[in-house]
Amino acid sequence: MTEFFAIYSSSEDEDNDAWEKFDARYQLGDTLRHLPKRDAKRLYLESDPLHNLDTRLICQRDGSMEAVRQWAWTCNMQEPALRAAVLLDVGHVLSELYDDQLRQLHCGLRSREMTNVAIFICTRGKERWRDLLRNRSLYNFSSMMDGVLITRHLERHDWRNPELFIEHPIKTPFHFVSFENGDKGDCAQFLRVPCLLFDDKLDNLKQVRAKGSAGTKGVLVTKRRNPRTVPWQTHVSDVAQWPGIVLHWLANLPH
């Protein structure tokens, strides 16, 4: 359904680190690109882009905190706190949509009623970031999102992995971040706002509800029609209805 786009190729020169050099001027929305690099770097060092996030579980002994800080800065997370976030899975959800459906979804999720609501891609898979860069439709869509959260595991066991290890995937834009040993529930907890996850797996929806802030819910996306109307369930082809589901959820969030 979506077009192949070779922005990334495994045959590329591994010394080509064009995606890897963090430049504080390159925030989403181009808010700082007019500044000299030195001035933008000073603003970055003086800022606190993490204050709206829950970083208690993140490992303090490696590069995780700096990776998160660069991600938060790039995604403008230092702005006033969000009121909610929408999380969109890729496999069997966004990957099933055509170009025009993705554009329609983006427009619907950027309506005036969704002010201060962040839209994130939240997907699982060790190599998922490659899918997002190789596929033109998904790459264009991810470029318009507030950020991309990639997890490696279906479930993080606290007794085995008490800390989160977070990295910036090599050769990706800086609004990509990878939870190396985390799950989607950790993503919801990390954002520290009510989240609504569109996903095709019930286990992921349960995780997000268990770990997320009050009001967090999940919407099960299916490829099979259900003869009965089931709350918080949608068919992948009914993407035009998804913004309405989000608005209904926002209207019923606890104050």
Residue 242 sits in which domain range? 83-251
In this structure, is residue 185 part of a structural domain? yes
Residue 87 belongs to some domain of the structure = yes
Per-residue pLDDT of the chain (255 residues; tens, 9 = 90+): 444 344 444 444 443 444 458 899 988 877 788 999 999 999 999 988 899 999 999 998 778 999 999 999 999 887 777 899 999 999 999 999 999 999 999 999 999 999 999 999 999 987 788 889 999 999 999 999 999 999 987 778 776 778 899 999 888 899 999 998 899 999 999 999 999 999 999 999 999 999 999 999 999 999 877 655 566 899 999 999 999 999 999 999 987
In a domain? residue 197: yes
Q: How many domains does the chain have?
A: 1
53 found inside a domain: no
Distance CA 135, CA 141 (A): 10
Q: Is 221 within the bounds of a domain?
A: yes
pLDDT in tens, 83-117: 999 999 999 999 999 999 999 999 999 999 999 99
Provide the whole-model pTM. 0.89
**CB half-sphere exposure, 78, CA atoms < 13 A:** 16
CATH number at residue 150: 3.40.50.1000
- The answer to whether residue 60 is domain-embedded is no
Domain-located, residue 146:
yes
